[in-house]
Amino acid sequence: MRGRSIFRELGITFFISVILLLLLYTFLLPIFFIAGSDESIIYMMDDLGRSYEEAAQVDPNAPLPETYLIRSAFSLETLPPDMARHFKDEVLEPLELYFDEEDQECDAEGNCKSTYYLYLYIYPLEDGRNLYITLESTEEYVEGSEEDQVVIIAFAIVGFINLLATFVCARILSKRLIKPIAALENWAQSLDSENAGEAPPDFRYRELNNLAVKLSRTVARISEFVEREQTFLRYASHELRTPITVIAGNISLLKSRESDPEDAVPVERIQRANLNMRIIVETLLWLGRESSAPPLVEKLVPAKLIMGCIEELDYLKGNKPLTEHLDLSEDEAELPKAPLLILFGNLIRNAFQHAQKGEIKISYRDGVFMIENPVATGKKEGAASIYEESFGFGLSLCERIARRMGWEFTLEERDNAIVTRLVLKETRKP
């Protein structure tokens, strides 16, 4: 069956969404981590500045904040030279955090054993002075340490568990969504005219329940339409067959009586027209019934049917300067007679009706029936409109019969000519 699987589509979409979300968080995590670290350092140094200011108000000789990692001074120049040189070229503003780093113990190839980090925060005092507070840190690199390996393995395990959990969640969610959809599909396939009026089952989701109600109502309306159509076909079948049967009976009665030989010709013509009418009615009724049996297949010579249609429709040429060029094979074939008569008669009738002068080419070879009839220059009609009048059915009748029988029917306009082509596929008797 064509179309994508909703189950697979949901699973892939959910899985890709989670992967993209993880990548986004992986990208944003270092940014937020650094921003959070800076804020925590600013908070700590600001707290040291306030603490010193409060202590200085009590004791002007209070010592400056100083620990193993923290140094402070009232100017950049009074800081240790190794610290001051990192910020000597910068324009320093109060309440701002400044940062610098430097690799240490590097070899000739540029491999360093540690990195030195230095932070500087300027706290403005109430007496107008600035307190320069520094925080230093050193990160050492130990190549191939067990701690690094443990961290890498831990990250790999967490990532694998995360992906596995994502896959399981996506599968559970997809199944939860697909199960009621599959139930709706199975229920829709079981809908027919008998159970269309029943209340549909609960499919868990409001949207699916609404869709089920609409499907049920639609099938109910279609069932009512089909029932009306079948009733019409039954009545039409009876009403159309009755006059045909009456005509056939009266023809038999006329033929059984002794009459003038000149009357035999019109009687034969009436009988042939009545037979064709019966075949047409049966074919139309067959087209209207989807489940009806196909027309009777018999061994016949299509060329004879074509000649019969030509003789019967010859009067349509009237006094027009028309001639026929026939190329008909006498091969036998197992084909349904009724659809053939309608198609042959329809196409030949149109050729005789709409051609004004010239030569009409009619051929039948190897199961291919073709008619090429001329169209007057400057009065060329559309190919579809040309077939609107034949039998009152038009081109759609030819197309429907050919499609129902599995035959190929084409129509094309060439230079000053209309060409119809019918490819017949022989039907074997069961």
Radius of gyration of the chain (CA): 48
Residues in the chain: 430
Residue type, 303: A
Task: State the DSSP code for 219.
Answer: H
Sequence-distant (≥ 6) Cβ neighbours of residue 113 within 8 angstroms: 104, 105, 106, 140, 141
- Residue 137's SS3 state is strand
Domains of the chain: which residue ranges?
6-155, 294-423
Fold type of domain 294-423: Heat Shock Protein 90 (3.30.565)
Amino acid residing at 277: M
Backbone angles phi, psi at 98, to 5 degrees: -115, 150
Report whether pLDDT(291) > 70: no
Residue 104 in 3-state DSSP? strand
The predicted model gives 276-302 an average pLDDT of: 74
Average of per-residue pLDDT across 324-335: 90
pLDDT for 164 equals 80
State if pTM tops 0.85.
no
Which H or E run includes 111? none
Beta-carbon contacts of 132 under 8 Å, excluding residues fewer than 6 positions away, are 72, 73, 74, 75, 76, 78, 79, 120, 121, 122
Q: Is 162 within 8 Å of 22 (Cβ atoms)?
A: yes
Instruction: Give the residue, 88 or 195, on which the prediction is more confident.
Output: 88
pLDDT at 303 (0 to 100): 92
pLDDT of the residue at 151: 64
